[in-house]
Amino acid sequence: MANTNPARGMRDFLPADVRRRNYVINIVKEVYERYGFEPLETPAVENIETLMGKYGEEGNQLIFKILKRGEHEKTGEADLALRYDLTVPLARVVAEYKNELPKFFKRYQIQPVWRADRPARGRFREFYQCDVDVCGSKSMVVEAELCAAVSDVLVRLGFNDFTILLNHRQVLAGILDAAGVPTEKHGDALVALDKLGKIKRDGVAKELEERGITSEASKSLLGLTDTIGGAIALTAMMEDSNLNKLNKDLLDYLSEFIGAHEVGQKGLDELGQILNFVEANNAGNNILVDVTLARGLSYYTGAIMEISVPDLAGSLGGGGRYDGLIGMFGKEEIPACGFSLGLERIIVVMTERGMFPDDLIGVNADVMVTIWNEESVADSLALANELRKSGLRVEVYPEADKLGKQFKYASVKGINYVCTLGDEERANNKVALKNMTTGEQETIERSEILAKIKGK
């Protein structure tokens, strides 16, 4: 007997799962379209050079690589790879079709990506990303619209306790410079700092030391996060906690910390604009400036965002500005910024919290047609055909089994009405219609079936 499991970290979606997934996807699509985004789809498979070197060292390791084919198979080399995210393919597409696309290309893309990660709760090796990106503008209106769109999606799905954490790569650079971390150690410091939520203050201190950050710099950084953490905790305790106010205070404090650092101050200015615009877009009270947010991907250049909910260790989604990525593919630098929602994470939380509507898992048919005997098969099929033409979803029991067995099947599948063409009904051109909920059965004209079923 063969192994019938899906591959490690991958999943089969039975009908009820697909319906839940489509429920979320349809809301995501609808909201994104309301913001003027258009759909894009790219192949699952990319040339391997397209992906390599775009995601940092760890990313490279997690890419699924595809063997060359035919006589080249025995070389053991790969020339293709599975899509790792939707952002790099977008950058390739924008570079390739620049002249066919509008000046501001606003696209959404909802497709699977593959990462050879260790599977965990809510982390799979095949998972869907729901991306929105705007290419062609450096304006912070873009960041604000993205935050508002993603926020709308979550509200429409029923979330009311999410926070969009906001930071900026250039502000981080300013902070690290001001703390006295040398440029070549910025990466190390960020990796450590990013773990504050997970390994706490002492863990971060230890990791900073291990990574060769001086104790002065470490003390300065942790002093900053202590102060900020305190301010956040204080605000959370206040009855009328106002994130807008808190964010502005945080920006002021960071501005002082960074001092005359030009790049860092520009980053702070951009964060200020985003907060300002998002407040206008009515998504303001879900956003919080978080200096420990670093994001792993190496292509970000400006604002970075991540969505957090209390009951999930990872994030529901994230994104940021990547003004250099498209230029890696084309002749021209084209600024861009995007946000990606993780479908699986959203579904995990919604399932655990019971957020799906009760009537989502509908039955697959409005009515089932039985088969009375071998001689009446064609007549039953003709009836099914007639009912489908009237708009009903019709399942035909495929065999001339005992009628009891056929009714039981309809009942197990939750189909509410069953039509039978017995000898008498066929002779009189009528139909026996049974309501499976009430148990009531009546013999009626064929033309009455639709009204009976729809009028319930």
Residues between 272 and 311 with contacts to a second copy, criterion CB under 8 A: 276-277, 279-282
Q: Which is nearer to a second copy, 47 or 242 (CB)?
A: 47
Site for a second copy in 315-334 (CB under 8 A): 328-331
| For a second copy, the closer CB: 179 or 383 | 383
Which stretch in 19-27, 235-243, 252-260, 341-349 sits in contact with a second copy by CB under 8 A? 19-27
Instruction: Give the integer Cα–Cα distance in Å for 327 and 279.
Output: 32
Among 233, 260, 378, 427, binds a second copy (CB under 8 A): 378
412 lies in the site for a second copy, by CB under 8 A: yes
Q: Which is nearer to a second copy, 6 or 197 (CB)?
A: 6
Between 229 and 272, name the residue whose CB sits nearer to a second copy.
Answer: 272
Residue list 81-100, contact with a second copy (CB under 8 A):
82, 89, 92-93, 95-97, 100
58 binds a second copy (CB under 8 A): no
Q: Point out which span in 61-69, 187-195, 263-271, 286-294 binds a second copy (CB under 8 A).
A: 61-69
Minimum CB distance to a second copy smaller for 215 or for 385: 385
Q: How far is CA 65 from the centre of its chain?
A: 24
Neighbours of 35 (CB within 10 A): 17
Classified as helix, coil or strand, 9 is coil
Closest CA to 112 of 92, 89, 134, 91: 89
Distances (CA, A) of 75 to 61, 69, 235, 254: 20, 10, 61, 54
Task: Return d(Cα 296, Cα 379) in angstroms, integer.
Answer: 63
- Of the candidate residues 25, 78, 155, 232, the single one contacting a second copy (CB under 8 A): 78
> Toward a second copy, which CB reaches closer, 257 or 407?
407
User: Total residues contacting a second copy (rule CB under 8 A)?
Assistant: 111
Strand duo 126-135 + 336-342: pairing: antiparallel
Cα(286)–Cα(279) distance, rounded to whole angstroms? 9
- Out of 26, 61, 215, 429, the only residue in the binding site for a second copy (CB under 8 A) is 61
Residue 379 binds a second copy (CB under 8 A)? yes
Nearer to a second copy, 307 or 371 (CB): 371
Q: Closer to a second copy at the Cβ: 5 or 438?
A: 5
Determine how many CB atoms are found less than 10 A away from the CB of residue 172: 22
3-state SS, residue 22: helix
Triad 181, 185, 190: Cα angle to 5°: 85
Q: How far is the CB of 455 from a second copy (least distance, A)?
A: 20
The dihedral region occupied by 28, where left means phi > 0, alpha psi between -120 and 50, and beta the remainder, is alpha
- Site residues (CB under 8 A) for a second copy, limited to 122-181: 125-126, 134, 137, 139, 141-142, 144-145, 148, 152
Site string for a second copy, 98-117 (x = CB under 8 A): --xxxxx-xx----x-x-x-
Give min distance, CB of 221 to a second copy, in A: 33
Strand order of the β-sheet with 441-445 is: 394-396, 367-369, 417-420, 430-435, 441-445
Phi, psi of 330 (to 5 degrees): -110, -175
Nearer to a second copy, 103 or 198 (CB): 103
Can residue 66 be called a binding residue for a second copy (CB under 8 A)? Answer: yes
- Cβ 110 to a second copy, closest distance in Å? 10
Q: ∠296-290-321 over CA atoms, to 5°?
A: 50
| Residue 382 makes contact with a second copy by CB under 8 A | yes
Q: What letter would DSSP give residue 217?
A: H
Q: What is the 3-state secondary structure of 261-325? A: CHHHHHHHHHHHHHHHHHHHCCCHHHEEECCCCCCCCCCCCCEEEEEECCCCCCCCEEEEECCCC
Residues near 90 by beta carbon (within 8 Å), at least 6 away in sequence: 40, 42, 107, 109, 131, 133, 135, 336, 338
| Identity at 275, one-letter amino acid code | L
Give the nearest distance from C-beta 339 to a second copy in angstroms. 15
User: What is the smallest separation between the CB atom of 227 and a second copy, expressed in angstroms?
Assistant: 29
Complex with a second copy: residue 41 or 210, whichever CB lies closer = 41
Question: Is 373 a binder of a second copy (CB under 8 A)?
Answer: no
| Contact call for residue 36 and a second copy (CB under 8 A) | yes
User: Closest Cα partner for 9 from 127, 128, 125, 129?
Assistant: 125
**Contact region with a second copy (CB under 8 A), list: 65-73, 177-185, 262-270, 420-428:** 65-73
